[in-house]
A and B are shown apart, each in its own frame.
Chain A
């Protein structure tokens, strides 16, 4: 698809005919045939990479000085920049969160983990300590329990974090928001992910759609709610194709890798012992060889496995976006497999190979991708969207900071 063409341009044209009653509160005069406004537009991102980097590097320098405690304020500054350089229908977003709110969220999560540690200590003292059957200690018990609670809490944190960010986001001066229960989302996500893993990931479409639904349908701009009309059944056929092709690709990749490594070592007359010795006492040459092998493996993996994954992810993204709407505003994207590769794989490599310094670049690329690939059809009636009474949570993202990578 060309960047300049709308994926729905053909479909949009014939809808000018009167088809339905006008929405309540529409400005259309009585008796006039109602034609839904489906004029396409795209978000605009006008941030500059250099400016973003100067904010990010300042944040990194302050992080070093404060041993990481400035991250709450640094994250807030970056969001202010990114949000305000993105506009929809000519109006920029505003981010009005504060660093202090993030720090309070983190301290509360710290308190939660501290309380949990205390509880585990009591369990250890009364159940395991100095008992003949006890073969693991306090640290083992705590680590295991944190893994167990960390998994669901990360999902709770994802949802609560999204709620916080939306509540601090404004468009045309109107606060966004998120309804629904983060704990309910955490429980559903944990159950679905666990069941999916137990069934060999054959339930992935069910998981994807059922986790996307609350995140989309509970989001709102002021009093205007989003809606999601996706169904897992719609995407199962494509997923099964991806699933079995993926297995085939892994088998081929494994066979080719083993043959290539074995053959290469033998052709150089290197035994496995020699190989291990090389790794334990690496010279510059060994490091170069290991990097070359890693690059070769990446190429193979990249050629066979990742395009398949990106193909599926691009399809899933198109499906989720086109089945979402906000009132009479429709969304669409024609994001391609190649663009998804840039988003998933290239961004990953940029962060990895720059040891994290490429993060602003990745953020900039992502915003450009959203601006280039998201199409918005129609415009809401601004007068109908009212400021919500709810101001959102007073603090945020503590669980996300504690149990997950919160990013920006």
Chain B
């Protein structure tokens, strides 16, 4: 049995022959049969295995010496003589079935991962400790409002918080909702994790009546009760992770591609969330016998101001459905009790003064 011997102290190479006895591996020079080394069988080990190494080195405990048996037939013979050296000559890998098996497993796992992101978040997110969600929401709020002026009119802030919590409780939501009002624009409102709502005062100023503000507030409560903010974070993170894992985490080119892809998917999630929040908002107002036409009239007002409709123009790149579609879905008759009393509405109009 021929092999190459490295002594572990220098990079010198010796062509050697091997002889196996019951308790040792004898390494000797073929020229004069002088002994190079005697390795006790009990101390032998194989570094690696023949599935990963072309020629797994044979080593002896406590030394950096190596024995390299290039010939696969001799390696197999050695492994037969000394069963502890089995990794020297494992059964050869049958590549095609293995590739097929792993490919199928990957497709199945991607499907499972995708389903977990798409549907699993609905079940997993409510299990997330609420204190963590609240902490995240407060941190983002601090971040967003660092240089913004807040409106502190007590009665106005109390009025909007009263209605927000009434609507949330009506939906069976068990946490307190907090609404903050920021002075100025844009004409917008949004929801953060931890039941935090932010309204811009321009929205209140430009509302034709209290039902429009109530409609938008009910829409935002729709986001709150469906845990949309934290679901959005979880899905975005999940998609990002899936792309990274699938690309082996190796390619920055793919990360760039992936960022575009996950942005599109986030927008798609966004549109679905908006539709759900629209429907829930209107339902919550109707359940309490309150006027529920506010959100559709508010959208109509927006569309009059900007007929080109940014959401419609942006198409698949928009986080919101087209405004016309939202108007059609939320259109209700102007009936029902006003959501705010006259005094509350007045206080809300003056909240920044």
Contact = CB atoms under 8 A, between A and B. Distances in A.
Contacts of A262: none
Interface in A347-363: 348, 351-352, 355-356, 359
B54 A85 contact: yes
Contact of B6 (A71, A130, A172, A221): A172
28 contacts: A54-B98, A54-B102, A57-B98, A57-B99, A58-B102, A68-B241, A68-B249, A71-B249, A80-B53, A84-B52, A90-B4, A94-B57, A137-B142, A137-B144, A138-B142, A140-B143, A172-B6, A173-B11, A174-B10, A221-B11, A222-B10, A276-B313, A355-B254, A355-B257, A359-B251, A383-B11, A383-B12, A407-B250
Interface of B: 4, 6-13, 47-48, 52-57, 64-66, 68, 93, 95-96, 98-99, 102-103, 105-106, 109-110, 113, 139, 142-144, 146-147, 241, 244-254, 257, 313-318
Nearest to B59: A173
A84 B315 contact: no
A251 B212 CA distance: 55
B55 A92 contact: yes
Contacts of A90: 4
A46 B245 contact: no
Contact of A92 (B68, B146, B147, B245): B68
Interface string A48-69: 1011011111111101110110
Contacts of B7: 173
Contacts of A85: 54
B13 A384 contact: no
Interface stretch (A229-237, A240-248, A277-285, A336-344): A277-285
A91 B10 CA distance: 14
B113 A351 contact: no
A382 B250 contact: no
A364 interface: no
A60 B248 contact: yes
B315 A280 contact: yes
A50 B99 contact: yes
Contact of A67 (B103, B245, B254): B245
Contacts of A129: 142, 146
Interface in A381-404: 382-387
Given A64-B106, A383-B12, A355 B247 contact: yes
A77 interface: yes
Q: Which of A56, A96, A140, A173 has the most CB of B within 10 A?
A: A173
Contacts of A275: none
Nearest to A405: B252
Given A61-B109, A77-B52, A356 B147 contact: no
A287 to B, nearest CB: 11
Nearest to B6: A173
Contacts of A64: 106, 109-110, 113, 245-246
A170 B65 CA distance: 11
A51 B250 contact: no
B313 A277 contact: yes
Interface in A305-351: 348, 351
Interface in A200-244: 221-222, 224
How extensive is the interface on chain A, given as a class?
Answer: 35 or more
A10 interface: no
Interface in A65-97: 65, 67-68, 71, 77, 80-81, 84-85, 90-92, 94, 96
A64 B52 CA distance: 21
B58 to A, nearest CB: 11
Given A61-B109, A64-B106, A137-B146, A172 B254 contact: no
Contacts of A135: 146-147
Contact of A51 (B9, B95, B251): B95
A134 interface: yes
Contacts of B252: 405
Given A67-B245, A84-B54, A280 B251 contact: no
B36 to A, nearest CB: 14
Given A92-B54, A92-B55, A92-B68, A171 B11 contact: yes
Interface in A129-158: 129-130, 134-140
B69 to A, nearest CB: 12
Given A173-B6, A173-B7, A173-B65, A68 B244 contact: yes
A380 interface: yes
A303 interface: no
Given A50-B95, A71-B248, A276-B313, 16 more contacts: A56-B248, A57-B98, A68-B245, A68-B249, A80-B48, A80-B52, A84-B56, A134-B146, A134-B147, A173-B64, A281-B316, A282-B316, A351-B254, A355-B246, A356-B246, A356-B250
Contacts of B247: 355-356
Nearest to B50: A84
A80 B249 CA distance: 19
Nearest to A132: B147
Interface string A153-181: 00000000000000000111110000000
A356 B254 contact: yes
A292 B116 CA distance: 35
A408 interface: yes
